[in-house]
Amino acid sequence: MPYTKETILPFIERQQQLYEDSSHYGQLQDGVAFLTGQIIHPPVCTDAAMAREMGVFLQLLKLPDQWDDNDRLVLQLLADPLVWQQCRERFFQHVVPMLDTPGSASAIVLRFSYFTSYLQQRGCSTEDIGSILIIHSGDGNNFDLSPLKFTPLRKFLQDLIKSAEWPVVDAYLRTWKQHGWNSLFFRLLSKGHPDREMEYLEHILEQPDKGFVNVELSRVLLQTNQGKYQPLIEKAVTHLATLPDYTAQLGGYYLLAQYQPEQYQPLLLQASYAYLQEYNSSLSSQAFRQQQAAMGGSSALPAPDVMAVGQLLRQDRRNALPYLDTHVDEKRYLHPEAFQLLQQELGNQAVPLLLKAIRNDYEAKHIFPLLTQLDASLYAESLWDFTLHKLKSVRTLVVVILADHPQALERAGELLQHKKAEQRLTAVQILCRLNTPAAKQLLQHALQQEINDDARDLMLDTLGHTLQSEDDTTTAQQLVAFAKKRGKLSRPLEKWLDDTALSPLYLRDGTPLTLEMTRFLLYRMSRVAAMHADIEAKPLLRLIDRSRGGAFAMQLFQLYVARNGDAKARYLLALAGLTGDEQLATTLETATLQWISEKRWRMAEHGVAALAIHGSKQALRTVEFLSRKYRVRKSNVGAAALAGMQQAAADMGLSMHELGDRIVPDFGFRGLFLPFDVKGDTYQLYIDLQFKLAVLNHKQRRLKSIPVATPAATKEAIKQLGKAITETVKLQTARLEHFLVVQRKWEPTQWQQCFLHNPVMFVYANRLLWALYDEQDRLLTGFQCRDNGALTNLQGLPVDIPAGASIRVLHPLYLSAAEIIQWKQRFAADGIEAVFPQLDRPVAALPPQQADTTLVHDFEDIALESTLLNKHMEQKGWKLSEGSDGKYVYAYHKTDDENQLEVIVEMSSIYKEEGFRYKLGTLYFVDKTKVRQRWARSVDKETDDCLLPLGHVPPVFYSEAITDIAISRDKVEVA
């Protein structure tokens, strides 16, 4: 039966995503038509690009022994000569790795029979098939000569080559002499035709310009069987020496000298001088290392230049020292490892050579650390010369060492007077590293005279202040005057920025800012890389009347938009956020949401940051909302929002959660009520247990609706208020459920201020079950908040809050089954419904015997329909991770930022006839403070110290992670 369209659809959708403007989409539709039986004959391709696109259907192919009528339809598509030519490599990359899949003996025989038959139909000879399998097995790109451990593919190859007749073996040798070294072919050849192995080795070893392969292969052969292979290697080295191939000659003599030193050490010394004199260069060294990387990247041998320097020092030190001195004088190539060898072999005698190397622009970042291991008295004074070096990288490196010089303060003070900005910046770097009162005094004195902004910014970072003893008005006036004196305010900051056309800003005393003050703000804000207030701009910013800054801020906003979100212009948006009024916050919110919808991510990130530094409750509520909404999707925007909230909280001296509590709107309520008048009578609005607005009359009786005589304007205001409350509830519900998961703690006074005095949060106080913990984090009791604000336990008794206690949303993991039932009955009797699953929440306790394990394998049998899984995991706060190319899904992860933990569940894509599914794999918890990089499937997780034993994972976070996955079993089928 042909494929269904639903089966083929994922492949076409993926192709559309990768090639949205592909002109060959119609050709793919022809392929779909053939595979689904709409047309009888496969489409004929006349264009190479069109033929290449047909390779998308290769992913449908199963193991050859499982090929059925549907697979044969795909194979017919490939049979077109042009399609086969364009897709054969992709075919081999897909099918050959599958050939090693375990199976019964009969299945494996059938597998290779079908595979070879298909290739023979495509015109492949027996030798072609064998070489194709060797190439695409991925097993031969090394120097492993150990006996083969058989897999289905290796067993087939051994039988294939062993049974080959002499002419076929000749064909193999022709192919692999051309391809070069392959350890798998060599082992197969040695096993099947041992009399031909020397022919292959001789050709490989005598190839010129294959330095690493020649040397490493020779080393392995000598190690494997010296008596058998040494004559062959001697012959190859003698041959290469006549070409001359200096790298292979040096490496060969180096190896042979280990077995016959008397004969080969003189030749080795001669080859070392020849290599350094005639061939040593960055290009030759790079070629050697590229070959090394291509063959796995490791070797027991040093690189040729390091090998040569080592032999000179060990065999001919008296002549080697002047030779190497001249070598460095001439700026001839030496790898950093050669300097390390010089330091190890010569000790303090290496100091002049190392200093000369830095002067001659060898890699200072590798040489300076070598110097610091030697006697400082031999080089310390000379290092001051490098503060005048032309390269910034050298000056920056020498700063680290000079900061420890006994005269660092005095010498840096002198350098601070240098006429060149680069040297003054170096002096500043030294003083900043010293960070002593005397160094700070020098920096403070130089700060307002320094015209180099990089040097000034570094001073400011170290000092952390400017004029600490003055009031803001005096400080701002002095800073503007200093900037003017340095020539920073004489013209507009940008050629395209007409600062004279900007609307005026006003100080709080009503005085308009001068043009120089405005230029000072623009100048200083342009120096800040991140979106926050510049340290020198802060005194003046604190004096500005923001209620009158709307027009100025709006102009800056428009200028930023006109620059199309250029990162270099983000300071305009930052300054707008710092000077604008509530109207600007509304404009920023609208623009940011629009930029998100238009996928203008950089502008969206800038917009979120500007809202955060605006700092109004309205702006911060928007930022907090975006930080939650985009925790999973559009995570760059979410990260920018989170960073903005963190900075705003730090500026206010609060934690993130405390700031979140403060910005919950109270909508103008007086405590829990909002009074309004109707024809002389006063009524009060309050929020009921369903988060709906309700009305009380003067007798404190609830009315069914708002009085009929209520003015139209008041009715509309109440209607809009109801909508705003609904939006707030959506945000706060998600926030409080998150607090349940991470077990956030409130101090009792914080909790009372947040929940008992805010009309929205008071409803949450009534509808949630709370936990009281003592100073030692021991659970004392659960409690509920009654509608009169009283706190009572399960027995209905008042709850006393002891000193040092904390309050959390109670997780059912800490309740017995009987207690859960009793609390449910209590809430039902009071007519209280849960705002999110709390008492009904599934829990998973860690079995004691698994406390020391790190991996959870309980979900590896589940295969999930991809769309359904994505939706479920997103709802639970898990984020989809992707492979390095951004296309291949491999894991979901969920983070507990409070405890710096992450839970990861691995997965893989599998294909079933009805479509793609994700197969779940291992689940584990990671300590984020130890993570070096994102997990890959090849990581040996059993030995990685980033993994947490399950017994060290907070019980609630463990329970939430396990139940998130476990309840997905009810939504999808089990594999």
Work out the number of other CB atoms within 10 angstroms of the CB of residue 825.
Answer: 10
Pick from 732, 752, 737: which is nearest to 687 by CA? 732
Pick from 364, 369, 370, 406: which is nearest to 387 by CA? 364
pLDDT at 479 over 80: yes
Q: What digits encode the pLDDT tens for the residues 488-522?
A: 999 999 999 999 999 999 999 999 999 999 999 99
State the Cα–Cα distance between residues 8 and 911, nearest whole angstrom. 11
Q: What digits encode the pLDDT tens for the residues 701-715?
A: 999 999 999 999 999
Residue predicted with more confidence, 530 or 819 = 819
How does DSSP classify residue 950?
G
Please tell me the predicted confidence (pLDDT) of residue 934.
47
How does DSSP classify residue 972?
S
Q: How confident is the model at residue 935 (pLDDT cuts 50, 70, 90)?
A: very low
Q: Which long-range contacts (CB under 8 A, 24 or more apart) does 815-824 make?
A: 815/782, 815/839, 819/782, 819/794, 822/794, 823/769, 823/782, 823/794
Residue holding tokens 């050959």? 96
Q: Please, are residues 533 and 609 in contact by the beta-carbon 8 Å criterion?
A: no
Computed on alpha carbons and rounded to an integer, the radius of gyration of the chain in Å comes to 37
Pick from 285, 124, 106: which is nearest to 212 by CA? 285
pLDDT at 717 over 90: yes
Q: Which two tokens stand for residue 669?
A: 């309520």
Q: What digits encode the pLDDT tens for the residues 665-679?
A: 999 999 999 999 999
Q: What digits encode the pLDDT tens for the residues 400-458?
A: 999 988 899 999 888 988 888 888 889 888 988 888 889 888 888 887 787 888 888 77
Sign of CA dihedral 7, 9, 13, 15: positive
Q: Please, are residues 405 and 380 in contact by the beta-carbon 8 Å criterion?
A: yes
Sheet strands side by side (includes 693-696): 674-678, 681-687, 693-696, 702-703
Phi first, then psi, for residue 408 (nearest 5°) are -60, -45
Q: Please, are residues 465 and 535 in contact by the beta-carbon 8 Å criterion?
A: yes
Q: Which CATH code fits 848-970? A: 3.30.310
Q: What digits encode the pLDDT tens for the residues 900-918?
A: 889 998 877 655 544 456 7
Q: Please, are residues 438 and 407 in contact by the beta-carbon 8 Å criterion?
A: no
Q: Which two tokens stand for residue 808?
A: 């959390």
Residue type, 841: R
Please tell me the predicted confidence (pLDDT) of residue 6.
63
Residue holding tokens 């320097």? 309
Q: Which two tokens stand for residue 821?
A: 């039932």
Pick from 250, 230, 231: which is nearest to 240 by CA? 250
Tell me the CA distances in angstroms from 486 to 28, 453, 482, 497, one per residue in order: 67, 10, 6, 21
Q: Who's near 970: CB < 8 A, 6+ residues apart?
A: none
DSSP conformation letters of 599-654: T-HHHHHHHHHHHHHH--HHHHHHHHHHHHHTSSSSHHHHHHHHHHHHHHHHHHT-
Q: What digits encode the pLDDT tens for the residues 811-837?
A: 999 999 999 999 999 999 999 999 999
What's the mean per-residue pLDDT of the chain? 88
State the Cα–Cα distance between residues 711 and 655, nearest whole angstrom. 43
How does DSSP classify residue 954?
-
Query: If DSSP codes are grouped into helix, strand and coil, which group holds residue 807?
Result: strand
Instruction: Give me the mean pLDDT over the 22-26 stretch.
Output: 51
Q: Which two tokens stand for residue 235?
A: 């012959």
Please tell me the predicted confidence (pLDDT) of residue 883.
44
pLDDT at 936 over 70: no
Helices 570-579 and 515-525 meet at what angle, rounded to 10?
120
State the Cα–Cα distance between residues 599 and 480, nearest whole angstrom. 40
Number of C-alpha atoms within 13 angstroms, CB side, residue 913? 8
Sign of CA dihedral 489, 491, 497, 500: positive
Instruction: Give me the mean pLDDT over the 340-359 stretch.
Output: 95
State the Cα–Cα distance between residues 838 and 826, nearest whole angstrom. 14
Any alpha helices (H) in 363-471, and if so which ranges?
Answer: 364-371, 380-383, 392-402, 408-415, 421-434, 437-447, 453-463
Helices 336-346 and 364-371 meet at what angle, rounded to 10?
10
Pick from 102, 296, 100, 96: which is nearest to 183 by CA? 296
Q: Please, are residues 409 and 428 in contact by the beta-carbon 8 Å criterion?
A: no
Q: What digits encode the pLDDT tens for the residues 220-234?
A: 999 999 999 999 999
Q: Where are the domains of the chain?
A: 1-62+71-98, 382-463, 674-829, 848-970
Q: What digits encode the pLDDT tens for the residues 213-265?
A: 999 999 999 999 999 999 999 999 999 989 888 989 999 999 999 999 999 99
Please tell me the predicted confidence (pLDDT) of residue 903.
92
pLDDT at 323 over 90: yes
DSSP conformation letters of 31-95: HHHHHTTSSSSPPPP-SHHHHHHGGGGGGG---GGG--HHHHHHHHHHHSHHHHHHHHHHHHHHH
Pick from 748, 749, 791, 747: which is nearest to 769 by CA? 791
For 790-801, give the secondary structure using H, E and C. CEECCCCCECCC
Q: What digits encode the pLDDT tens for the residues 37-93?
A: 888 888 888 888 888 888 888 888 999 999 999 899 999 999 999 999 999 999 999
